[in-house]
């Protein structure tokens, strides 16, 4: 393979489509507690980048046999053989080492332990997500640790906003992984007798027809409602103060979120391209709440709204030569 092709394959292994979004999770915690140093924020971004790569690349490594079963996933770097299992593992370990090195150098041993704890939870999810029901909660806890890690790089005296962001990160990840992820993998999870909670609840595809039970839909609406309450209750009680225009923008985003969720959980036929579209839309819209809340303490945080869009569009253009039809997940 040429150097360009090799780089592209490792980018696919790293799930580059969400790489900007996951990498800035620690930044949200740091910005919320007052970090303004661009150099330190950049270092924190690189540490978040390492955590993203380790978590997602190891997930691909663990799922290689499952990915070989499905036409839409057997072209990924590991099942297709464009990257060997040995090289993938070396890549993961190298990135983990670099993440540890950066964390230790800039933030010390205590933060290194917190960084490794978040990685441990993500790896635990990767190993057991299809063997033990409810591992989505472990992954959600891992993302919550990422927010706390970012805040702790500034101070261990967490503000109420940090608590809000931690809860939102937990619920957001739970929604993405349990609801959107359960729907995305419905065509093959039940075939491999996955113990993922969505499969246990009866989400599956039979002869191209989607089976999404009402209990699963109720859980989707419950998680969405809890997420919205955690956004607007702090505003109602004055914990977070925003301009009325930003509040209206939050309302718009959350209306769109429920529209997309409704369409996704009422799909009749499994078309992976359509499922991808709804997953990307749902998570991007859901994420948009976080930068708006951060604008209560850092007005420029609004630019973080652009990061997931930039990452998604760039990865599709560079790796898959398309914009409108996401070739990810």
Q: How many domains does the chain have?
A: 1
Q: Are strands 204-206 and 209-211 parallel, antiparallel or unpaired?
A: antiparallel
- Output the pLDDT for position 93: 97
- Output the pLDDT for position 325: 52
Tokens representing 298? 């850092």
- Output the pLDDT for position 322: 65
pTM (2 d.p.): 0.90
d(Cα 314, Cα 8) in Å, to the nearest integer?
Answer: 12
Does residue 326 form part of some domain? no
Q: C-alpha dihedral over 117, 118, 123, 124, to 10 degrees?
A: 70
Sorted by sequence, the CB contacts under 8 Å of residue 188 that are 6+ apart come out as: 66, 69, 70, 73
Euclidean distance between the first and the last CA atom of the chain, given in angstroms as a whole number:
23
For residue 324, the 8-state DSSP code is: S
Does residue 328 form part of some domain? no
Tokens representing 26? 């620690």
d(Cα 114, Cα 137) in Å, to the nearest integer?
Answer: 18
Q: Which among 157, 127, 160 is positioned nearest to 142, based on CA atoms?
A: 127
Beta bridge partners of 210: 205
For 273-304, the DSSP string reads HHHHHHHHHHHHHHHTHHHHHHTTT-GGGGGG
Q: Tell me, what CATH number does 302's domain have?
A: 1.10.357.140
Per-residue pLDDT tens, the chain, 329 aa: give them: 687 788 888 888 888 777 888 888 999 999 999 999 999 999 999 999 999 999 999 998 998 877 777 766 777 888 888 899 999 999 999 999 999 999 999 999 999 999 999 999 999 999 998 888 889 999 999 999 999 999 999 999 999 999 999 999 999 999 988 898 888 877 777 666 778 888 888 888 877 778 899 999 999 999 999 999 999 999 998 888 999 999 999 999 999 999 999 999 998 888 777 887 888 888 888 888 999 999 999 888 888 877 777 777 777 777 766 665 555 54
- Output the pLDDT for position 323: 61
- Output the pLDDT for position 181: 84
Sorted by sequence, the CB contacts under 8 Å of residue 49 that are 6+ apart come out as: 19, 23
- Output the pLDDT for position 152: 97
Phi, psi dihedral angles at 210 (to 5 degrees)? -75, 130
Does residue 181 form part of some domain? yes
Does residue 327 form part of some domain? no
Does residue 325 form part of some domain? no
- Output the pLDDT for position 168: 94
For residue 52, the enclosing domain spans 3-320
- Output the pLDDT for position 47: 97
């Amino acid at each position: 393979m040429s150097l360009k092709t090799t780089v592209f394959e490792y980018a696919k292994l790293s799930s580059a489509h969400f790489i900007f979004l996951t990498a800035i999770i620690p930044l949200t915690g740091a910005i919320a507690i007052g970090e303004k140093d661009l150099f330190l924020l950049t270092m924190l971004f690189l540490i978040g980048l390492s955590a993203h790569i380790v978590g997602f690349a190891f997930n691909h490594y663990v799922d290689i046999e499952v990915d070989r079963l499905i036409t839409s996933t057997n072209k990924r770097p590991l099942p297709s053989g464009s990257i060997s299992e040995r090289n993938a593992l070396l890549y993961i370990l190298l990135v983990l080492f670099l993440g540890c090195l950066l964390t230790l150098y800039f933030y010390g041993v205590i933060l290194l332990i917190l960084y490794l704890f978040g990685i441990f939870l993500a790896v635990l999810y990767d190993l057991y997500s299809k063997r033990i029901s409810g591992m989505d909660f472990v992954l959600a806890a891992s993302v919550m640790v990422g927010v706390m890690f970012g805040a702790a790089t500034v101070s261990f005296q967490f503000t109420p906003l940090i608590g809000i962001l931690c809860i939102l990160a937990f619920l957001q990840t739970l929604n993405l992984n349990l609801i959107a992820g359960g729907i995305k993998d419905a065509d093959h999870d039940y075939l491999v007798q996955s113990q993922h909670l969505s499969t246990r609840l009866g989400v599956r595809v039979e002869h191209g027809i989607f089976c999404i039970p009402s209990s699963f839909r109720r859980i989707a609406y419950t998680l969405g409602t809890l997420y919205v309450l955690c956004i607007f209750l702090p505003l109602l009680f004055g914990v977070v103060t925003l301009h009325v225009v930003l509040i209206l923008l939050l309302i718009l985003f959350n209306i769109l979120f429920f529209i997309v969720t409704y369409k996704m959980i009422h799909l009749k036929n499994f078309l992976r391209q359509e499922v991808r579209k709804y997953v990307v839309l749902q998570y991007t819209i859901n994420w948009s709440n976080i930068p708006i809340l951060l604008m209560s303490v850092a007005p420029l945080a609004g630019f973080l709204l652009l990061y997931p869009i930039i990452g998604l569009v760039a990865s599709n253009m560079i790796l898959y030569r398309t914009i409108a039809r996401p070739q990810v997940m």
